[in-house]
Amino acid sequence: MSILVVEVLPQGIIFGADRNITITKKRIVNQGSTFIKYQGQSQRQKVLRWPNRKALVGYVGVAEIGGIPIDEWLYDFIGDNLNFSSFKDLSESLCSKVEAQRRIDEGINEPEMLIIHLGGFEEKNKILVPSIYFIRNTYKLAEDGTYEDIRKEFQNSEELWSDSYFGSKIPPEKIRTYLEKVASEYKPFWFHQGIDLLTFNTIESFQKIAFKFLCESSAVHPFPKTLLDWEKQVKMSILTYSAYFQAYKGPSEQFVGGGVDTVSLPWPD
């Protein structure tokens, strides 16, 4: 598992994630059954950007696909889709390829959770707006922030402009004004995915209250103005959650940690 943070701001889009990857080594015993011999952490990048700066992608969940780390698999996918025709087509291609490969990887075994976010800017009513596509094989999020109903079938949907979020509520020409308003209140629009979301969201909400107070009362912490400024806040949120795991979890339960990566796309002017 891990934590993935997506923030949509008037300056652009940010994807951020920790680097820890859980490594589980197993030993075969009688009749093909297994038991865990060792569980620890390695580090890999979980958020990536197209080299032509057209899109961002990030994931949480199972860390391997097709026998290689998912970041390497995604690099290959990016290389095959440098100049895609639309985000809808790109997300559908990514969804179908992920599902097909995971079916091969898992065989008859139970499916493991994998969530991918794909983001960038595309035209809506002739206006460039942010879009975030949500690819996942989990069909329910419980009240305690855990994922349930994990299937071999993957879903794909654009989330920002669904009825659950902007939809008919905010027209494309006013979306940037709305994002400026919520950012000015130190409440940037976000999606969070990962382990124990209830704990992460609680810690992050208090942290943003604290930094809002610092920005309003101390010249040492000016209010975020640029995309880089907001990236620092994303890093701080993830590092704070990593510290929670270091303080409260055992050596084999460091599911979040190992540093932070962020990637971003500025709003096209």
List pLDDT tens digits, range 6-24.
999 999 999 999 999 876 6
Q: What is the DSSP letter of 52?
A: T
CA dihedral 133, 142, 179, 221 (to 10 degrees): -120
List pLDDT tens digits, range 229-253.
999 999 999 999 999 999 999 988 8
List pLDDT tens digits, range 116-168.
999 999 999 899 999 999 999 999 988 888 899 999 999 999 999 998 899 88
Q: Tell me the CA distances in angstroms from 248 to 23, 53, 230, 243, 255, one per residue in order.
A: 20, 38, 28, 9, 12
Where do the domains of the chain lie, and which CATH numbers do they carry?
Answer: 3-24+38-266 (3.60.20)
Q: Which residues contact 158 (CB under 8 A, 6 or more apart)?
A: 87, 88, 91, 131, 132, 133, 134
Q: Which residues contact 68 (CB under 8 A, 6 or more apart)?
A: none
What pTM, to 2 d.p., does this model score?
0.92
3-state helix, strand, coil in the chain (%, to 5): 35, 35, 30
